[in-house]
């Protein structure tokens, strides 16, 4: 019985992460905790945790005196709409979600299992980067993660969700994955934060301008999907997964709502397309006429808007759309739109998702910037 009580106590402690005070702080900033996020992301009662009692090994800089079961990351597997996924969720209440040797080993274990069992990997990131107290041991942990990201690329879908101020090593891995989700106002991605930027280059910039959700959606194109809060973001991740197969050797699931061929809908195209080929029209209206109702999920909608890419369903089957957008720069191709299109096509190619291409393009954008 003593042992059972001991186990119960350990379980309770691991659920509290860095303690109630820090959980309250997280909530007061409009952020959910690592555990709340996992429960909302996955189907009810489907989460199986692994490594809840793992703790850090380092003894330096006072780390021998304080231990948090789980070491700042919740890892395990569960289901989304009944399909298996592997998940890690970093806990900002424990050393700012920073990555230690043990924390990295937990993430690597989940990545290995996802590869072995051919299921998507979803990372909920909320981390200040390498755990400073651990030095190079922590950095080596990043190498192990990045190596696995590259091995998994094109084999299983990898999704990164940025849900807090992610700095340093915490942002390299997401950049290697297939899709990035960000939350407005509370999530940031930067290799070096505003203070380091100011010290080194004397440039003054806010966190928001440097690496907020909007900056990465509009300027760098790193952010694929923006959400107003954690809840909406996690719902959005669940939705994206429905368009994807489990791995490179499978097909995406079929979600049949109704036959996609609707004469009234396709007739509408005539009213959208102008008689004069130099006049603009919104290609998204044409896409809506062709695909299953409300099934178009645009990717990188705020970046390189002269091309539109995203997933849809046709007769219930997942299809990738690539379309020139005549309302922006007359749909011309430039470097950003080419890279946006190419990256999306490469993903669809890796995961057996057929492409539907709408072409209406005047050519390449001329100019020195483009040539250089
Ligand atoms: C250890 C960290 C930490 C880190 C934050 N904390 N980042 N502890 N290692 N990397 C701790 C803080 O000391 C603090 O502890 C608690 O987490 C909350 O942090 P705050 O600063 O109070 O939160 P906030 O104001 O929201 O700022 C978040 C932040 C900031 C922007 C992430 O903490 C920050 O700038 N952290 C350092 C980021 C950084 O330089 N990372 C790069 C590491 S090098 P207490 O106990 O005081 O509350 C790297 C290189 C990788 O990653 C190379 C890979 C090859």
Cross-strand pairs, 212: 188
Could you write out the DSSP letters of every residue in 63-112? TTT---TTTTEEEEEEEETTEEEEEEEE-TTTGGG-B-HHHHHHHHHHHH
Cross-strand pairs, 297: 311
Give the integer Cα–Cα distance in Å for 113 and 280.
Answer: 49
* Distance between Cα 98 and ligand 1 center (Å): 7
Residue nearest to atom 26 of ligand 1 (CA): 165
Residue nearest to atom 33 of ligand 1 (CA): 128
Dihedral, 84, 18, 128, 158 alpha carbons, nearest 10: 0
pLDDT at 81: 97
Question: Tokens representing 59?
Answer: 């003894």
Classified as helix, coil or strand, 246 is coil
Question: Tokens representing 336?
Answer: 């950003």
In the chain, the DSSP E strands lie at 48-50, 73-80, 83-90, 121-125, 158-162, 165-167, 179-183, 188-190, 225-227, 297-299, 307-314, 317-324, 355-358
State the closest ligand 1 atom to the C-alpha of 29, by its place in the atom list counted from 1: 26
Using CB distances shorter than 6 Å, the residues near ligand 1 are 95-96, 98, 128-132, 139, 142, 165, 167-169, 193
Question: Tokens representing 35?
Answer: 């555990």
If we measure between CA atoms, which residue out of 139, 78, 77, 79 comes closest to residue 103? 139
Give the integer Cα–Cα distance in Å for 353 and 248.
Answer: 10
Classified as helix, coil or strand, 318 is strand
pLDDT at 372: 93
* Distance between Cα 96 and ligand 1 center (Å): 6
If we measure between CA atoms, which residue out of 222, 157, 159 comes closest to residue 189? 222
In 130-288, the DSSP E strands lie at 158-162, 165-167, 179-183, 188-190, 225-227
Tell me the C-alpha to C-alpha distance, in Å, between residue 307 and each of 39, 85, 167, 206, 299: 36, 31, 30, 29, 11
CB atoms within 10 A of CB 2: 6
Element (H, E) at 194: helix 194-201
* Distance between Cα 183 and ligand 1 center (Å): 19
The separation between CA 173 and the C-alpha centre of its own chain, rounded to angstroms, equals 11
* Distance between Cα 234 and ligand 1 center (Å): 24
Kind of pairing, strands 73-80 and 48-50? antiparallel
* Distance between Cα 167 and ligand 1 center (Å): 8
Report pTM.
0.96
CB atoms within 10 A of CB 153: 16
CB atoms within 10 A of CB 109: 17
Give the integer Cα–Cα distance in Å for 303 and 300.
Answer: 6
Judge contact between 309 and 348, C-beta under 8 A. Answer: no
State the closest ligand 1 atom to the C-alpha of 129, by its place in the atom list counted from 1: 52
State the closest ligand 1 atom to the C-alpha of 168, by its place in the atom list counted from 1: 52
pLDDT at 62: 86
* Distance between Cα 74 and ligand 1 center (Å): 18
10-residue block means of pLDDT along the chain (372 residues)? 88 91 96 98 98 91 89 98 98 97 98 98 97 94 97 98 95 97 97 94 96 97 98 98 98 80 83 92 96 95 98 96 97 97 98 97 94 93
Judge contact between 251 and 245, C-beta under 8 A. Answer: yes
Site to substitute for ligand 1 among 97, 129, 211, most atoms within 8 A of C-beta:
129
Name residues whose C-beta falls within 8 Å of residue 139's C-beta, 6 or more positions apart in sequence.
130, 169
């Amino acid at each position: 019985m003593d042992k059972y009580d001991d186990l119960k106590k350990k379980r309770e402690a691991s659920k509290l992460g860095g303690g109630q005070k820090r959980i309250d702080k997280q909530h007061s900033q409009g952020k959910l905790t690592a555990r709340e996020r996992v429960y909302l992301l996955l189907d009810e009662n489907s989460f199986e945790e692994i490594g809840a009692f793992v703790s850090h090994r380092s003894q330096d800089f006072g780390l021998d005196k304080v231990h948090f079961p789980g070491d700042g990351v919740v890892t395990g597997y569960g289901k989304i709409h009944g399909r298996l996924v592997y998940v890690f969720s970093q806990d900002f209440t424990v050393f700012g979600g920073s990555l230690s040797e043990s924390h990295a080993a937990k993430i690597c274990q989940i990545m290995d299992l996802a590869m072995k069992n051919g299921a998507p990997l979803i990372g909920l990131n909320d981390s200040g980067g390498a755990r400073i107290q651990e030095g190079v041991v922590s950095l080596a942990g990043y190498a192990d993660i990045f190596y696995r990201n590259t091995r998994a690329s094109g084999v299983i879908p990898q999704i990164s969700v940025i849900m807090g101020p992610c700095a340093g090593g915490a942002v390299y891995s997401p950049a290697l994955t297939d899709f990035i989700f960000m939350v407005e106002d509370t999530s940031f991605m930067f290799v070096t934060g505003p203070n380091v930027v100011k010290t080194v280059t004397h440039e003054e910039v806010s966190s928001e301008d440097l690496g907020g959700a909007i900056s990465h959606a509009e300027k760098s194109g790193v952010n694929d999907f923006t959400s107003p809060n954690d809840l909406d973001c996690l719902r959005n991740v669940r939705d994206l997964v429905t368009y994807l197969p489990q791995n490179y050797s499978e097909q995406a699931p079929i979600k049949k709502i109704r036959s996609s061929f609707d004469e009234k809908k396709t007739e509408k195209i005539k009213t959208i397309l102008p008689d004069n080929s130099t006049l603009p029209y919104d290609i998204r209206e044409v896409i809506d006429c062709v695909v299953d109702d409300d099934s178009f999920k645009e990717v990188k909608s705020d970046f390189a808007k002269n091309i539109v890419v995203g997933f849809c369903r046709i007769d219930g089957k997942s299809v990738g759309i690539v379309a020139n957008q005549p309302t922006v720069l007359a749909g011309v191709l430039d470097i950003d739109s080419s890279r946006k299109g190419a990256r999306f096509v490469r993903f669809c190619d890796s995961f057996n998702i057929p492409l539907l291409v709408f072409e209406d393009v005047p050519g390449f954008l001329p100019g020195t910037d483009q040539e250089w």
